[in-house]
Amino acid sequence: MITIDYKSRVPIYDQITGGIIRLKTLGVLKGGDKLPSVRSLALKLGINPNTVQKAYAILEADGIIYSVSGKGSFISEDSAAADAILESAADEFKMAVENARRMGLDRARLEAVISEIYEGGITDDKNS
């Protein structure tokens, strides 16, 4: 399920793209699965359809989804989507590292954080 944090500084269209990528990565969405229509997702999330359309356009440009005229949008087959997802993750990581660097985090501390994450010390699960 895609959730929107209206208080976040992350644009809503980025939250949608991130949510779809996450669902694909977790295996909830698989290659060939149909996505909700722009209108239905916008209604469900309580946002402007143009915002959903922008998210879908970004996902399509990145090869994560594809559109069929008159049929809707679908998750790309695993091989194409996997490369796009990895590229998206790398881009997000680069932005996070750049933000951390700007805020004064030195390389040694950054490497320690990465090691901690890979060793299982930090999780994305807020309930842990």
80-105 residue pLDDT tens: 667 777 777 888 889 899 999 999 99
Confidence of residue 74 (pLDDT cuts 50, 70, 90): very high
CA dihedral for 11, 41, 6, 127, sign (positive or negative)? negative
Tell me the pTM: 0.70
CA distance 119 to 99: 23
Q: How many CB atoms lie within 10 A of CB 110?
A: 14
CA dihedral for 31, 26, 58, 49, sign (positive or negative)? positive
Domains along the chain with CATH numbers = 12-118 (1.10.10.10)
For the chain, the average pLDDT equals 88
The residue among 42, 43, 95, 84 whose CA lies nearest residue 16 is 42
